[in-house]
Amino acid sequence: MAEKATQESFTEEERAAMKERAAELKAAGKRGTGAKKAEADLKDCLDKIAEMPEADRVIAEKLHEIVTTHTPELLPKTWYGMPAYARDGKAVVFFKPAAKFKVRYAEVGFNEPAQLDDGDMWPTAYAVVAMNDAVAKKLTTLVKKAAG
């Protein structure tokens, strides 16, 4: 389990993620725009997926396939050191590996730009413990809806 946080501190894993985000922002400022930036962002995303333990990697690889196949307008990047898919630079969909935060399950999450609104309340993160056809189908539906 992740190191317990008190109201006054972040876990070691959370601090590491914030440092990764700061490095991502610094790198993004140097990359500029266009095809070279998109290529570098894709490489960063794929590198993060490749370094994951197998259980997380299998889920992340399938999510990457789903997003890039069904919603090519969402561009791969990293966000707090996690694979993410963005529109206009803002992460819409992200993958939170279980191993990164030393928790029981991985999550596929959606940020505010996601078009998942459903009445007065809706989920913005889904626990994923294994990838199978049913999970892939549900994620495909969610990703397509999130992209708008």
Mean pLDDT by 10 residues, the chain (148 residues): 63 91 82 84 96 98 98 96 95 97 96 94 96 98 96
In a domain, 2, yes or no: no
Total domains, the chain: 1
CA dihedral sign of residues 59, 1, 109, 87: negative
Q: What's residue 30's pLDDT?
A: 78
In a domain, 5, yes or no: no
Identity of the residue numbered 36 = K
User: In whole angstroms, what is the distance from residue 13 CA to residue 63 CA?
Assistant: 23
In a domain, 1, yes or no: no
In which order are the strands placed within the sheet that holds 75-79? 75-79, 82-87, 90-96, 106-110, 125-128
| Cross-strand pairs, 83 | 78
Q: What's residue 32's pLDDT?
A: 74
User: In whole angstroms, what is the distance from residue 135 CA to residue 126 CA?
Assistant: 10
In a domain, 31, yes or no: yes
Name 10's Cβ contacts closer than 8 Å, sequence gap at least 6.
18
Of 90, 109, 96, 110, whose CA–CA distance to 41 is shortest? 90
Where residue 82 sits, what CATH number does that domain have? 3.90.1150
Q: What's residue 3's pLDDT?
A: 52
> In which domain, by residue range, is 123 found?
12-147
DSSP run (H or E) holding 45? helix 35-50
